[in-house]
Amino acid sequence: MQMPAPIRAPTFFSRRRLFEQKLADLHKCTDLNQLKQLHALIYKSNLHKDPFVAPKLISALSLCQQMSLAINVFDQIQNPNAHLCNTLIKAYIRNSEPDKAFEVFREMRWSGIFPDNYTYLFLLKACSGLQSVKMIHAHVEKCNLYSDLFVPNSLIDAYSKCGLIGVKAAKIVFDVMEEKDVVTYNSMISGLVKAGELKQAKKLFDEMPHRDKVSWNAILDGYVKAGEMSAAFEIFEKMPSRDVVSWSTVISGYAKTGDIEMAKVLFDNMPDKNLVAWTIMISGYAEKGLAKEAAGLYDLMEEARLKPDDATFVSILSASAESGLLGLGKKVHRSILESRYKCGALVSNALIDMYCKCGSLNRAWSIFSAMGRKDIVSWNAMIHGLAMHGHGRKALQLYDRMKQEGFAPDKVTFVGVLAACSHAGMVNDGIYQFYSMVNDYGIAPEIEHYGCLIDLLGREGRLGEAFRLLHNMPFEPNIVIWSSLLGACRMHNAAQLAEEVLHQLVKLETAGPGNFSVLSNIYAAAGDWGSVSNARLQIRKVASKRPSGVSLIEVNDEFHEFTVMDTTHPKSDGIYQTIKGLNQHLTKIPYAPSIVI
């Protein structure tokens, strides 16, 4: 008996079914080529004005960053409803265009389309400041949308991003809410923690009827940020369950407070180590100057087949830069090259900054020159690097080139430019750049800019102008400014002004033996031996109250620490023998000291 052939569905039916499935998932589509094909089919089928299809098409186009096409779809709908407007608002927010999202909201109201709770939920995500949050809050009050918990919860979250005043407004919203859920409490606790209101946050945490992991992690983060690690560890121990966020937070806290041993103990006991935990631990070692430990842990991370991302590279490179760990920085750079990691501006900028701060300008320049797309941070890092190492004129040439390529300088740029003028001794150029910053670019000078200009005037012996600027600037001088002025007084033997500077440093409780030594040298140059004697007496008094100064030297990726007359180093005998031999050679070379100490 012959079996009948299986009945197949008509081709047109299969295609229509497939098209319907594609339409159902249209709003999730991120493949631009596939989306263009579907877009053409939608037009061919005359579905582009369908109230079900149009919002999905706008969402898909926004996911593929095709906002002009998304707007085109929206504009073809004669009578858009709230759902369609909400979709366009969400699309603008997704593409980082919050101002245009608010424009849609204004057009909705002018057209008589009533916004719903979703409209305000989306707009709260677009708010960039306290005033815009207050405006949305007023509409929520007017429409009485508190019954939807998502709306007041989002209000609390949005207010909490607006500093202390915003957090106070969030607390008012919280207090008037008749119904609260765990998200409400979590949002309020997180806001209080951000504002540094830890006591209020803990009180609210204790009052919570139910807590989840987010609640515990929020209060744990508060104690860690406040540096109260004993209280943080108590919270950590009481947690009913811990996730990678809990472990990473407490490890980060101990690393930042300098207790790297405790951080390592917790890291070793962490059940599931993720990339964040490895990054925190390696960066913690690097910040402490423990190059060998940091490099060793970095090797173990690679052996664990974890693939570092931008955040990992930037964090470790930044820590290496601050501690001057060139060896670790080079190791990370090698890893980037060997893995053929696609470096964006973020990682390239971190590499430039690290090489500049570690004194390897050639490598920094090589990376900078090879960058396809530079941003303002790239230019700033290179300008600062050149200025920092005494290449003032080259830094200014690079600044001119930056402007020629269409980049507008920011306040960070001008710190580098003014530092470059200072190192190159270009007083008039420095003064011109300072006023250009204000007049041409509308940038208000900050204390760093004043500090650079005061240092520049001081170096060139224009101490009167430097002191006038110091007394007229709208900031209290800090230790950096006073110290640079003391150095200028030393350079130009201005004993009377040096006394005034030292008096200010004493008031700030930052006058160390080095400062009195500078004053002693100034008196010696002037032949005022009585004042020299008094200054030397002050040196002994201050030195007895302070720990000895420490010198560090990096050899083979390891830091060696030395204090005055130190014998604790395992090779101290050989070191002192070498120094003795050098001294014997130096005594044979004629030398006439210019200043008596």
For the chain, the domains span 273-373, 551-587
Token digits for 61?
Answer: 């186009």
Q: pLDDT (tens digit, 9 = 90+) per residue, 249-270?
A: 999 999 999 899 999 999 999 9
Taking the C-alpha atoms of residue 155 and residue 577, their distance in angstroms, rounded to an integer, is 70
Q: pLDDT (tens digit, 9 = 90+) per residue, 72-88?
A: 989 988 889 999 999 99
Give the CATH number of domain 273-373; options: 1.10.1760, 2.60.40, 1.25.40, 3.40.50. Answer: 1.25.40
Task: Tell me 274's DSSP state.
Answer: -
Per the listing, tokens 């005998």 go with: 573
Q: Percent of the chain, pLDDT > 70? A: 84
3-state secondary structure 22-85: HHHCHHHCCCHHHHHHHHHHHHHCCCCCCCCHHHHHHHHHHHCCCHHHHHHHHHCCCCCCHHHH
Q: Which residues contact 242 (CB under 8 A, 6 or more apart)?
A: 236
The residue-averaged pLDDT of 31-37 equals 80
* Amino acid 43: pLDDT: 79
8 A C-beta contact, residue 486 and residue 518: yes
The residue-averaged pLDDT of 579-584 equals 78
Interhelix angle for 447-459 vs 411-424, to 10°?
Answer: 10
User: What DSSP string runs through 326-372?
Assistant: HHHHHHHHHHHHHTT----HHHHHHHHHHHHHTT-HHHHHHHHHH-S
* Amino acid 523: pLDDT: 52
Mean pLDDT of the chain: 84
Taking the C-alpha atoms of residue 268 and residue 271, their distance in angstroms, rounded to an integer, is 8
Q: pLDDT (tens digit, 9 = 90+) per residue, 116-145?
A: 999 999 999 999 889 999 999 999 988 888
- Output 513-522 pairs: Cβ under 8 A, ≥24 positions apart: 513/539, 513/542, 513/543, 513/546, 515/483, 515/486, 516/542, 517/597, 518/486, 518/487, 518/489, 518/490, 519/486, 519/495, 520/597, 521/490, 521/595, 521/597, 522/489, 522/490, 522/493, 522/494, 522/495, 522/498
Task: Tell me 7's DSSP state.
Answer: P
Residue of 274, 238, 540, 579 lying closest to 252 (CA atoms): 274
Token digits for 197?
Answer: 């209101």
Taking the C-alpha atoms of residue 225 and residue 250, their distance in angstroms, rounded to an integer, is 10
* Amino acid 9: pLDDT: 47
* Amino acid 12: pLDDT: 42
How many CB atoms are located within 10 Å of the residue 65 CB?
14
* Amino acid 597: pLDDT: 30
Q: pLDDT (tens digit, 9 = 90+) per residue, 512-555?
A: 555 555 555 555 555 555 554 554 555 455 554 455 556 667 66
pTM: 0.73
Residue 10 has pLDDT above 70, yes or no: no
Residue 292 has pLDDT above 50, yes or no: yes
Residue 195 has pLDDT above 60, yes or no: yes
* Amino acid 548: pLDDT: 55
Per the listing, tokens 């890092």 go with: 381
* Amino acid 394: pLDDT: 94
591 burial (CB, 10 Å; 0-12 / 13-18 / 19+) is exposed
| Collapsed DSSP state (helix, strand, coil) of residue 559 | strand
Token digits for 192?
Answer: 């209080």
* Amino acid 82: pLDDT: 92
Lowest-confidence segment of 161-165, 435-439, 505-509 by average pLDDT: 505-509
Residue 175 has pLDDT above 50, yes or no: yes
How many CB atoms are located within 10 Å of the residue 310 CB?
15
Residue of 292, 347, 223 lying closest to 556 (CA atoms): 292
- Phi, psi dihedral angles at 561 (to 5 degrees): -110, 135
